[in-house]
Structure formats: structure tokens, C-alpha cells
A and B are shown apart, each in its own frame.
Chain A
Amino acid sequence: MTRVVSTRRELEPGQPRSRGVRVVLNAIAVVIFVASAFPVYWMVNSAFLPNSAIREQTPHFFPDQFTVDNFTRVITQPSGTIEFLPALLTSLAVTLGTVVLAAVFAFFAALALSRFRFRSKKTLIVGLLVAQMIPAEAMIVSIFRVLDGWQLLNSIVGLTLVYLAVVLPFTIWTLRGFVAGIPVELEEAAMVDGCSRFGAFFRVTLPLLWPGLIATGVFAFIQAWNEFLFALVIMQKPEVRTLPVWLRAFVQATQATDWAAIMAGSTLISIPVIVFFLLVQGRMVGGMAAGAVKG
């Protein structure tokens, strides 16, 4: 961090004028950073240390015996039932399916709910909000039964459909707001110029909707990538585990002894989410806050 360069530095509005108070506040900010970031640092640090170093009495606070051995060990796990790569493929397939289908389905539904008037609209909107509040924990019993009835247990299709149902209420609700922000006159102008109604949706509204689609896409990605409970219930066969379920099985199988490898696996699972989060954080924080403050 660069500290005060000129002595007469401009203060931000709201910053206290007293120097002593500022120093204390800055110190608290550093404490917040360390407390928040330490576990992430510790995960990465342990992942790059050999397991022999991990097992020493005194912890290594820096990866001074740097190695990528843990990562190769995790990825090329020889033992049959807790393989990383199949879990990675399952997670990728389910996440990709959820993100793409949620974007398409929510786009259509958002158009219906913001560009048309019909009688049951209000009921549908209430339904969307209520659906968001139903806890997944309470749904495992019946989701299990329903998927069992359709022969969709241990199936990527089954899990993708469940995740779609989980993310759709929020994505429809959010996209609806974005669609409402695009003036309907643009569509009408296109229709006057000879565009069909759907042509106007796809050629005029869709290109303007990218920010909304990215925001909801990231939401769907994080949900599907991180989700644990449904994956645990639905994907019980080892060969169709998703990454979070794999991690738990791996911890269990190693009896929590091979921490270096466990941390390497954790790092591999976390990196995509952290990268996505940092990329879109401004939009996400801003969007959520705007929604919350309006109330």
C-alpha cells in the first residue's frame, strides 16, 4: 500500500479530520482485511507446501518449500472411487447447463412478465418471491422422490433441472427489472420498421440486456458450482459426484490427514468462483444494494 505522499493530502468526504482517529480506523481496516483473507491465504499456502512440511510441529507461514505435487496428486488420484476429474466434468456439465438454460428460460419469462398484461400476472410474481423463500433443506425429501419416479437420480440432467428450478425465480425476477429498464418504444420502432414482435425482442431488447444476463448468469454459475445439499442427495453414486461432494468424500477417505492434498483440491474448487466474484463484484454489490435500498 502506498501511504501519504504529500502531507496536505485531500481527504475523502466523511473521513475524520483528526489524524489519530484516521490511524485507528486504518488499523481496523487492516485487521478486517487480515481476518477476512487469512483462510483463503492459508488454503493456498498449504496447497503449495509438501505434506511433510504440513505435518511439522511449526507451521510454515509461507510456501518456502514450494511444490505443485499436491495438485498433481489430487488430479491423478489413482484410487478408484474419489477421482477428481470425473467430478470436475460433472460440475462443469451441470453448471454450464444451468447457466445457459436459466438465461434462455428467464429471458422469455422476463419478457412475458414485463412486456405484457394478463390476469394472473400478479399471482405469478408473488409465486416467484415465495418460491425463493422455500428452503432447499425442506425440499430434499420430495425432490428425491420426484426424481426417483422419473429415473433421474444420479443423472446430470436431473441435477441440472433441480438447479434450474432453484435459480429461475431469482433470475426471472432480476431480469424482469432489466427488461423494464429498456424503453418499450425501441421495440415499437423496430416493429413499425417491419420487425416481427419476436424479431424486436431478439434484435433490439436482447443486445441491450447483456448486463442483466451477465449478472444473473454469474449468480446461476455460483449457485450451481457451490451447491452441496441437492448434489449430496441426488448424486449418490461415486462416479457422478460434483466437486463439493467430491471434496467431502475426499476429506472422509483421507481421514483428514492429507491436508496438503485437501487444500489443493479446495483451491481448485474455489479459484473459479473467486475469479468470477472479483470480476463482477462492482455490479453485484451495486445491483443488490440498489434493490435493497429502494425498499
Chain B
Amino acid sequence: MSQSSTALTPPVRRRRRDLTPLYLLIPAGVVLLALTAWPLIQLVVTSFLEFGRAQIFGAPPEFVGLQNYVDVLTDLEFWQVLGRSVAFCLVNVLLTMVLGVSIGALMTKLGKGFKLLASVGLLLAWAMPPVTASVVWGWIFDTDRGVVNYLLTQITGVDFQGHSWLIDPLSFFFVATIIVTWQAIPFVAFTVFAGLTQVPAEVLEAAEIDGATGWQRFRMIVLPYLRGVLVILLILQIIWDMRVFSQIYALQTVGGIAAETNTIGVYIFKVSIGSGDLGAGGAISVLLVILMLALSAYYIRSLLKEEEA
């Protein structure tokens, strides 16, 4: 933080309040109050209301206390969706982190040309709009004319032509995992690569001269340097993968049985917008917000700490 100009003037008692920052904050403040803070309050309120199709068309909503929460938490489908989301999230986060960190580390060992080659590929994957990416992968895994089925038929000799990848939930999530990790790895790889270039070479050299093996150097020197970055990446990945929406929803459009492949984000959409039960959708949403904020508390704290430093 640089010093502000008002701080340079000596403190005067009973100085008139400078309202300039208030004026400067008004445009952004109005938007954020109207479309983040106010909806958030509305969300909590809605979650305590009986709010279905009738209410959308004007009937007065009825206060039902915790009923929506009781309904949601005793609904088997909610727990199935939650379990599916958590499992999907864990698998994807693990794959993304392992592959992303490996690729980031690999990039420090590459010459200029090959580093550029890998970077361009990663950037292309990163840049694709998620909905487009999902549709394209849907085409690659297409039942009749998908290139994956063609190649599998050629390689294995078994006829894969006509094999549907999206009809079985498990293989649906296999495809979804490919899409999500394919797009998430570049961010992790580039961030880890940038982090690794900050590790001072002299320290590593000194350790090498002192006889530390490659693994020891990684564990004792590189890892402590990277710890902060890795924790933050991990938290961000968990948050992003837990609430995945576009990829699943788009893939359900290409094929697949929606009821057996809903994740929590898609489920909220189906319950509230699809079936019009905004009360129950609101209750699930509130639970999701609480979960996400709890997960990101560490991230927010570390950003604030950096802020004060």
C-alpha cells in the first residue's frame, strides 16, 4: 500500500469528513448491493419460504421456517447428488493437481522451443469457452462417428463403433473428468512453473554441493517455497470443481441420462428453475454458499495477510 495523500497532512481534530471515496464507490457499490448483497439476503429469505410455481405467478409466499431444509436434508436424492459431487470433485482435484504440478515442474527442465510448444498447447486448452469445449469433447466421444471410437476400434480390433460413452453414468463422468481436468491443468501448470522460477538457484546449487539428492532438494527446499502456492491452488480447484455446472449440463445435452449425472450446481438449477421450487433450491443454495465460504476462509485470510504486509 502506498501512502494516501490524506495521510500526509498532520491529523487535525474535527477535520471535516472527506466524502470523495464515498462518491467514487457509488457506481460499483450500487451494482454490488443490488445484485450481490440484496440477492444474497433474498436467497436466505426464500429458503425459509414455501415458494413454488404458484408463488412465481403471484400467490403470496408462505413462511415455513426450516421446512425446506428438513425436506432437502431428508431427501435421498440430495445426498446422492452431494456424494456424486464430492467424489467427482476429489477425483478431478487430485488429477488436476498431480498432472498440473508435474507439467509445471517439467517445464522448468525444457529448452526454449519445447517449452513454447507445451505452453501454446496448454493455452489453447485453457482458452476454450467451457460450453464449447464440452460440445467438442462430446463430438470426439460421439457414439457413431466419434474419433475416439474409431481409434479404439483400430487399435484394439474390438468394434467400438456405436459404443455410447455418455449413457452409463460412470463413463459419463469419465468424459466429464477429461473435459474438466483438460481445462484446469494449464492454470495449475503455469502457476507452479512461475512459482518454481522463484526458487533461488544458488540455494539449490549449495544443497547439491553439500550432497543433497534430487528428492531431498525437492522436499527440503522447493516444497517449502511452493507450499503457499500449492495450498491456494488446491483450495481454488476444490471450489471450482465442487460447483461445476457448464460442462455437466452441456454434456447432458449431447447425451446421457440427466437424473443419474446431476452434480450439486446442476441440481440447484433443475430444482429451482426446472421444477420451479425456489424454496428448496434456495435451501440447497444456502448450504452450498456456507460450504464454499468455509472452504475459502483460508484463501481469503492469506490474501488479507498479504494485504497488510
Q: A residues touching B (Cβ–Cβ < 8 Å)?
A: 1-2, 11-16, 22, 25-26, 28-30, 32-37, 39-40, 42-43, 46, 54-59, 104-106, 108-109, 111-118, 124-126, 129-131, 133-146, 148, 161-162, 164-165, 168-169, 172, 180-184, 187-188, 197, 225-226, 228-229, 232-233, 244, 247-248, 251-252, 256, 259, 262-263, 266, 269-270, 273-274, 276-278, 281, 285-286, 288-290, 292-295
Q: What 5 A-B pairs have minimum CB-CB distances, sorted nearest first?
A: A289-B194, A36-B121, A277-B127, A33-B121, A165-B35
- How would residues 20 to 44 of chain B score, 1 for a CB under 8 Å from any chain A CB and 0 otherwise? 1110111111011011101110110
Are A270 and B121 touching (Cβ within 8 A)?
no
**C-alpha spacing A40/B125, complex, angstroms:** 7
B119 to chain A minimum Cβ distance, whole angstroms, is: 8
Q: Which residues from B are CB-within-8-Å of A43? A: 132, 136, 139
Q: Is the CB of B182 within 8 A of A146?
A: no
Whether the Cβ atoms of B135 and A262 lie closer than 8 Å is: yes
Give the complex CA separation of A118 and B22 in angstroms: 9
Q: A115 to B293, alpha carbons, bound, how many Å? A: 29
- Contacting pair A135 B243 (CB below 8 A): yes
Contact of B32 among A42, A168, A274, A281 (CB under 8 A): A168
Is A164 a contact of B120 with CB atoms below 8 Å? no
Nearest chain A CB to B64's CB is how many angstroms away?
16
Number of interface residues of B (CB under 8 A): 115
Complex alpha-carbon distance, A259 and B128, angstroms: 18
Report the minimum CB–CB distance from B248 to chain A (whole Å). 11
Q: Whose C-beta in chain A lies nearest to the C-beta of B307? A: A125
Of chain A, the residue at the smallest CB distance from B42 is A142
Q: A133-B296, A134-B292, A252-B253 are in contact. Are A12 and B31 (CB under 8 A)?
A: no
CA distance A286 to B264 in the complex (A): 33
B110 and A15 form a contact (CB under 8 A): yes
Interface contact A13-B201, CB-CB below 8 Å = yes
- Are A32 and B132 in contact, CB atoms less than 8 angstroms apart? no
How far is B246's CA from A109's CA once the two chains are assembled, in angstroms? 31
The interface centre, meaning the residue of A30, A172, A181, A247 with most chain B CB atoms within 10 A of its CB, is A247
Which chain A residues border B243 with CB–CB below 8 Å? Answer: 135-138
Nearest A residue to B127, CB-CB: A277
Q: List 22 A-B contacts (CB under 8 A).
A: A11-B111, A12-B111, A25-B109, A32-B118, A35-B182, A43-B136, A112-B24, A113-B25, A125-B304, A134-B36, A137-B243, A137-B269, A138-B285, A139-B40, A139-B285, A145-B39, A164-B31, A188-B8, A251-B254, A266-B132, A292-B191, A293-B229
Q: How far is the CA of A273 from the CA of B264 in the complex (A)?
A: 28
Q: A114-B1, A138-B286 are in contact. List 14 more A-B contacts (CB 8 A).
A: A39-B137, A42-B136, A112-B22, A116-B18, A117-B4, A133-B293, A141-B268, A141-B272, A141-B281, A142-B40, A142-B282, A144-B278, A168-B28, A273-B129
